[in-house]
Amino acid sequence: MKVLIKGAGCVGSAIAIRLFRCGFDIIMSELEKPTSIFGEICFSRAIYEKSATIEDIAAVFAHNTDEAYIALANRKIAVMADPKLECIDIIKPAVFIDTVCEEKIRKTKITDASIVIRIAKGCPEKDCHAVIDAISENRCGKAIYSRAPSETGYKNKKDLLKTEIGFSPALSSGSFTPSVKINQTLHAGQIIGYIDNLPVRTAVGGVLKGILPADTFVHKGMICGYTDTNYSKAPLAVSHNDLSIAGGVLEAIMSVTFSGIRSNITY
């Protein structure tokens, strides 16, 4: 069963890992220049590194759908730079998962696939078959199938990160260039990179665990890096929350397929 996932960041990658292990064929779409700071646990880095491996699962960059199908035949995840999802009409996925919920480029429709799942935002029965709660305490990963408000237990994750200790937001817009490396020990106030000629600093001391790739265009307030105040140099791991969301996605796929929520499933 082919699954198309919009977004190859932390959440999308956790979903891809869980579904891949269950035997699904995974194709992911991303921006041409991904903006995840946690590249170590995101398949989005395959866009600029041409390949990425997380927990022994390999993904490769595919320039087009032909290369994506070759990746699937070799039992790998395919990652495409296709934010407008121009590939969807060619791929015709059985399952489409929207982890981005950004509709300025392309609006997700319930007709995009036999099963359409959105993370955090959406109205079941209207623009998707299920919404997965993404941030609510005690409900993270819960699959919702009936009509609900347009936002279900959701707050913009990037906005939340701006208020948390360790995250370094951009103070202006421009092209970001990192000046430090992952797992480097930092002191409070140290420069971690530059937006054009303006420095971006960490507010706390610790170990750098996340940073944007070079030449990433950033907007004011966008997260550029993350410093772990526990000074841990252990490799990053896929988070429990993201795996909970991935479990909710798997439940939704099985429920829609086998519980009669939608009967005209095609593969």
pLDDT attached to residue 261: 55
Region 55-63: mean pLDDT is 97
What are the residue ranges spanned by the domains of the chain?
2-154+240-258, 166-228
- At the topology level, CATH places domain 166-228 in OB fold (Dihydrolipoamide Acetyltransferase, E2P) (2.40.50)
69-73, 156-160, 190-194: segment of lowest average pLDDT: 156-160
pLDDT tens for 194-211 read 999 999 999 999 999 999
Which of 1-5, 176-180, 203-207, 262-266 bottoms out in mean pLDDT, i.e. has the lowest? Answer: 262-266
| Assigned CATH topology for domain 2-154+240-258 | Rossmann fold (3.40.50)
Tell me the C-alpha to C-alpha distance, in Å, between residue 5 and each of 24, 34, 197, 243. Answer: 12, 15, 36, 15
pLDDT number for residue 138: 77
| φ, ψ of residue 121 in degrees (nearest 5) | -115, 140
> How high is the pLDDT of residue 164?
63
Given a cut of 60, is residue 39 above it in pLDDT? Answer: yes
User: In the predicted model, is pLDDT for residue 160 greater than 80?
Assistant: no
pLDDT exceeds cutoff 90 at 153: no
User: How confident is the model at residue 8, as a pLDDT?
Assistant: 97
Of 151 and 211, the one with more pLDDT: 211
Residue 15 vs residues 11, 28, 99, 180, 236: alpha-carbon distances, Å: 6, 11, 9, 30, 17
pLDDT for the residue numbered 150: 46
What is residue 58's predicted lDDT score, i.e. its pLDDT? Answer: 98
Close Cβ partners of 66 (under 8 Å, ≥ 6 residues apart) = none
Q: What is the mean pLDDT of residues 164-170?
A: 84
For residues 212-227, give the mean pLDDT: 94
Report the C-alpha dihedral over residues 41, 47, 50, 53, rounded to 10 degrees: 20
